[in-house]
Amino acid sequence: MRRRLFGTDGIRGRANTEPMTADIALKVGMAAGCQFRRGPHQHRVLIGKDTRLSGYMLEAALTAGFISVGMDVIIVGPMPTPAVAILTRSMRCDLGVMLSASHNPYEDNGIKLFGPDGFKLSDEVEAIIEGHVDNGLAKYLAAPGKLGRAKRLHDVHGRYIEFVKHTFPKGCTLTGMRIVVDCANGAAYKVAPEILWELGAEVIPIGVNPDGTNINRDCGSTSPEAMCRAVQDYRADLGIALDGDADRVLIADETGALLDGDQVMGVIANHWRNSGQLKRGGVVATVMSNMGLERYLSGIGLTLDRCKVGDRYVVEQMRRDGFNVGGEQSGHIILSDYTTTGDGLIAALQVLAVIIGCGRRPSEVCRVFEPLPQLLRNVRFSGGQPLEQQGVQEAIEDYRRKLGNSGRLLIRASGTEPVIRVMAEGEDEALIGNIVDDLCGVIRAAAA
C-alpha cells in the first residue's frame, strides 16, 4: 500500500501546506484517537511539541480532533521527543504525540505518534490510521456528553529531568567538568542545561533562546560548528549538540573535534561489553554507519547488525533480536535499557560516565576508530522517480563494481524530504569523491 501521509518518521512537511495543515492534523487526531480508543476507561493522549511557530496551530487542531472522538488531552508544551515517549508510558496514556520536524528548519513540522508502550507506531498501524483519514471519520464522533477534555500539565519538566538523572551511574558526578550544551533553540532548551547543572557540571548553554523561527538555525547537531567553537573559547571539557527535538546528539571533545553517532555507539558498546551490560554481543545500526565502526566492533568481538535508515527501524530490529544498543551515524542513539527511542541527553550522559570512569581526557577516550572516507550528498528533485530510470541504475551498478569489497555505495530517496541521498565510502578518498560527483550529475540530469 502506497502511503500518502506517513513517511519514515511519522508525518512531515512544510507548515500550512499539505500534509502539515490544521485540517489534516484534525483528521489525524480523530483517526488516531479512534484507533487507540479501546476498553471502557476514559482514554487520554499526551501531546508535546518543539519550539516551531506552527506548533501552536497543529497542537490546537490535534487537540480538537482527539476531543471530538472522546479522548482527554494532556498538553505538555515544548518537551524532547524521548520525554513524550517516556511520559506516554509512565502516565498510562493510550497514545502520545510529538509535534516536531526534528532537525529540519522551522518552516517544516511533523507528527510523530507513540503507542501506550512508548514505542513509535509500526508501518501497519500507521497505514490503518491513514485509512481512517481517507475513508471518513464522521462515524467515530463522540456524543455531546462523551466529548473529551483538555488540560495543561505543568510538572513534566521535573519528571523528565529526574528520569534522565537516574540513568547516570550512582556515585558518578559531573563536578569539576565544564560542559557546553547546544539545545538548537529547540525542545530541550530548558531541561538539558538543568540536568547537567543538577549533576554537578558548570554549564555553558547555547541555542536556548527559541523565538519560533530559529530552531536548528546555525546551531544544534546539524550545525555543530557553534558548539565546537564554544568548547574551544570556554576551554570546556566536552560539548553536546542536540537537534530540535533532542532525540539525537553529536559530541565534541576538549579540543573541539566532533564525534558522530558511530563513535558514540562504539564508546558505549565497548564500555557496556566490559561491564557486562551489553546484550546480544553487538550493536544495531543503519546502512549509513561507517565501515570503520563495523571493523572496530569486529576487532573487540562484537557484531554490527545493519537495518534500513530510520531510528524506528533500528528500534524494531533491537526489539526483535534482543539488542540494547543501537543507533544512527546522525546521532540517534537508542539505549533500550532506559528508553524506547533515541535520547540525546541519556546518550551523552553515558559517554560522560565512560570518561569519568577512565579518568582520561575525552580526546583519549571517545575516538575509538578511524572512519573510512565517506561522502554524502543530497540531490533535490521536484517530481518523478529518477532512481528508476535505466541510465541511473546502470551508473549505480557500474560504480558498485568499481568499489568491489573495498567500499560501499548507498543511493536512496529520503523518507522525510524530496531529496535523493548519494553516499559512498571506501579506502580511496579520491575515488569516493569522483563516484559521488558523477552519480549526483547523472541523477540531476535524470530529474531535470
DSSP SS3 for 384: coil
Closest Cα partner for 80 from 231, 233, 234, 183? 183
Consecutive H or E run containing 387: none
Consecutive H or E run containing 278: none
Strand partners, 424: 375, 409
Helix and strand numbers, DSSP H then E, in the chain: 14, 19
To the query of whether residue 102 is one of the catalytic residues in this protein, the response is yes
Nearest-angstrom CA–CA distance, 236 and 256 = 9
- Cell digits for 35? 484507533
Long-range contacts (CB closer than 8 Å, 24 or more residues apart) made by 293-302: 293/262, 293/263, 293/265, 293/266, 293/369, 293/371, 295/369, 296/266, 296/368, 296/369, 297/266, 297/269, 300/270, 300/273, 301/273, 302/269, 302/270, 302/273, 302/278
Given 54, 68, 100, 102, the catalytic residue: 102
- Cell digits for 357? 570512569
Long-range contacts (CB closer than 8 Å, 24 or more residues apart) made by 308-312: 309/8, 309/412, 309/415, 310/8, 310/9, 310/286, 310/415, 311/9, 311/247, 311/341, 311/342, 312/8, 312/9, 312/120
Say if CB 204 and CB 179 are below 8 A apart: yes
- Cell digits for 319? 526489539
Query: Which residue carries 487520554 as its cell?
Result: 44
Nearest-angstrom CA–CA distance, 317 and 47 = 27
Gyration radius of the chain over CA positions? 22
Q: Residues with catalytic annotation? A: 102
